[in-house]
Amino acid sequence: MSEQDPKRFIRTTAATASHFVDVNTGGIVPPIQTSTTFARDDRYELLNAAHTYSRDTSPAIIPAERVIADLEGGGECLLFPSGMAAIAAICRTCQSRDHVVAPGSMYWGTRVWLEKFCDRRGIDLTLVEDADASTYIDAIRPHETSLVWIESPSNPMMNVTDIAAVSQAAKAAKALVVADNTAATPLFTRPLELGADIVMHSATKSLNGHSDVLAGAVVVRENNDVLARIREERSEAGAMPGTFEAWLLLRGMRTFAVRVERAASNAAKIAEFLQSHPSVDGVRYPGLPDSAGHEISRRQMKGGFGSLLAFHVKGGAKQALAAAGAMQLITSATSIGGVESLVEHRHSLEPERTGVPQNLLRLSVGIEDVNDLIEDLDQSLTSAVR
Ligand SMILES: Cc1ncc(COP(=O)(O)O)c(C=O)c1O
């Protein structure tokens, strides 16, 4: 396998699940080992030194962890029962009186959790007003900031942050950079190569891709102190994913590259279509040449711009909700990264202070035929905005 060409490596790694063959049976997919505990021999030695009790680690999760680490070009991965559990485990490595920098506009579940967590623990949280690297750099305090959070492109506003520029500044300040790579996916962006220290995923989304598993992941370059603390946190706080979820995730990831390539190609065509639609007042997609983050995205997203986009319906909440409601093929539901296209009116779900516009619809583009998706968007937008 060519490690020189990351796309080639990712496609093959995902499809073969890191070349898994079960040595006991010859099976080419991993068996589902449900045991929570692992036996010792007559000298009280573990039969397999790697496994004691499944709250620490288990054979059920290791293949999926290996694949995600490889996809991200990382050395180690820890799987979690959800993206939020991964986020919580990372943040719990911060001490009281630490300083954390995060974007004000990000997946709001992360923002809400961070705000409450920092408040409870006495951590000083700076939410930066925009996603520009210069804003981040101004907010980073040398030897005081311990964690810098990046989400690029962000959900749902599609803000883009220059990961390399922020990582360089954070490194100089001795702060760790965490990149939530859920929307970009490792197919298009590999934050560790851009200088980030930790990559975090809601594996619920494109990694699994079938809207049937909740999972999260943390990836680092190599086993280090921070990973040890996150691992300890996972084990002691009991945040291990279930056996079946880990197995389903591995199965979902086998088609990761084809799904994400197709969905991103659909998204690019849809973004262009929406841009010229008379019922649309602006499209947020980093692949559009006139979008705010396009130049940075061209540098940091290789070969595509992802399957997530957002657009402003002419009018307000009434027209946006009417358009979502009129869609026949695209389902109104939360979440992103599945094989089916989903639309969501985030303003209905997020608190006012997150600033998501009333006329914004977020579209998670799936792998359907793009002409059918465009037809559905056209009829729903035309009927909603008169
Ligand atoms: C960008 C991003 N990060 C994190 C999460 C949280 O992941 P989970 O729902 O798997 O806990 C989400 C969920 O939508 C998300 O979109």
Q: CB of 214 closer than 6 A to ligand 1? A: yes
Span from the CA of 108 to the centroid of ligand 1 (angstroms): 9
What is residue 352's predicted lDDT score, i.e. its pLDDT? 87
- Gap from CA of 43 to ligand 1 centroid (Å): 45
**pLDDT-based confidence at residue 18 (cuts at 50, 70, 90):** confident
Map residue 242 onto helix, strand or coil: coil
Q: Pick the catalytic residue: 70, 132, 162, 180?
A: 180
Q: What is the pLDDT of residue 116?
A: 97
- Mutate-to-test residue for ligand 1 from 68, 80, 84, 346, highest number of ligand atoms within 8 A of CB: 84
Could you tell me if 15 and 254 are in contact, meaning their C-beta atoms sit under 8 angstroms apart?
yes
Rg value, the chain, Cα: 21
Nearest to 213 by CA among 80, 313, 29, 103: 80
CA atoms within 13 A on the CB side of 14: 27
In this prediction, residues 301-324 reach a mean pLDDT of: 97
Check if 55 is active-site. Answer: yes
Ligand 1 touching residue 250 (CB < 6 A): no
The CA-based dihedral angle spanning residues 81, 176, 188, 335, taken in that order and rounded to the nearest 10 degrees:
40
- Encode burial over 107-128: b for 16+ CB neighbours within 10 A, e otherwise: bbebbeebeebbeebebebbbb
> Is 332:355 a contact under the CB 8 Å cutoff?
no
Sort residue 188 into left (φ over 0), alpha (ψ -120 to 50) or beta. alpha
pTM of the model: 0.97
CA of 37 to the centre of ligand 1 (A): 30
**217 membership: H or E segment, kind and range:** strand 216-220
- CB of 156 within 6 A of ligand 1: the answer is no
Token pair 């035309």 is found at 382
Chain Cα centroid distance, residue 257: 15
Give the number of other CB atoms < 10 A from CB of residue 360: 21
- Which of the listed residues 79, 91, 105, 107 should we mutate to test ligand 1's pocket, taking the one with most ligand atoms within 8 A of CB? 107
Domains and CATH numbers, the chain: 6-253 (3.40.640.10), 256-384 (3.90.1150.10)
Q: Which atom of ligand 1 is nearest to the CA of 203?
A: 10
Nearest CA to ligand 1 atom 16: 107
Angle between helices 370-384 and 256-275 (to 10 degrees): 40
Is a pLDDT exceeding 80 seen at residue 119?
yes
Residue 2 pLDDT > 80: no
Give me the pLDDT at residue 351, please: 85
5 a catalytic residue: no
The minimum-distance atom of ligand 1 relative to the CA of 85 is 11
pLDDT of residue 3: 58
Is any atom of ligand 1 closer than 6 Å to the C-beta of 155?
yes
The reply to whether ligand 1 has any atom less than 6 angstroms from the CB of 211 is no
Q: What is the pLDDT of residue 1?
A: 58
245 lines ligand 1 (CB under 6 A): no
Average pLDDT over residues 123-131: 97
Q: 140-163 b/e with 16+ CB inside 10 Å = b?
A: beeeebbbbbbbbbbbbbbbbbbb
Token pair belonging to 178: 């965490």
Nearest CA to ligand 1 atom 6: 83
**Rounded Cα–Cα distance for residues 100 and 174 (Å):** 12
Does 269 qualify as catalytic in the annotation? no
In percent, the amount of the chain with pLDDT more than 90 equals 93
What is the share, in percent, of the chain residues with pLDDT greater than 70? 99
For the chain, the average pLDDT equals 96
pLDDT computed for residue 235 by the predictor: 96
Q: Which atom of ligand 1 is nearest to the CA of 182?
A: 1
Determine which one of 205, 221, 254, 284 is catalytic: 205
Per-residue pLDDT of 224-240, as tens digits, reads 999 999 999 999 999 99
Residue 83 Cβ contacting ligand 1 at under 6 Å: yes
Tell me: pLDDT of 104 over 60. Answer: yes
pLDDT in tens, 25-74: 999 888 999 999 999 999 999 999 999 999 999 999 999 999 999 999 99
Q: Tell me what the mean pLDDT of segment 138-166 comes to.
A: 97
Nearest ligand 1 atom to the CA of 215 is 10
Distance in angstroms (rounded) separating the CA atoms of residues 92 and 222: 20
Q: What is the dihedral of CA 162, 163, 166, 170, to 10 degrees?
A: 180
Of ligand 1's atoms, which has the minimum distance to the CA of residue 334? 14
Centre of ligand 1 from the C-alpha of residue 48, in Å: 34
Q: Ligand 1 center to residue 131 CA distance, Å?
A: 18
- Quick check: is 162 catalytic? no
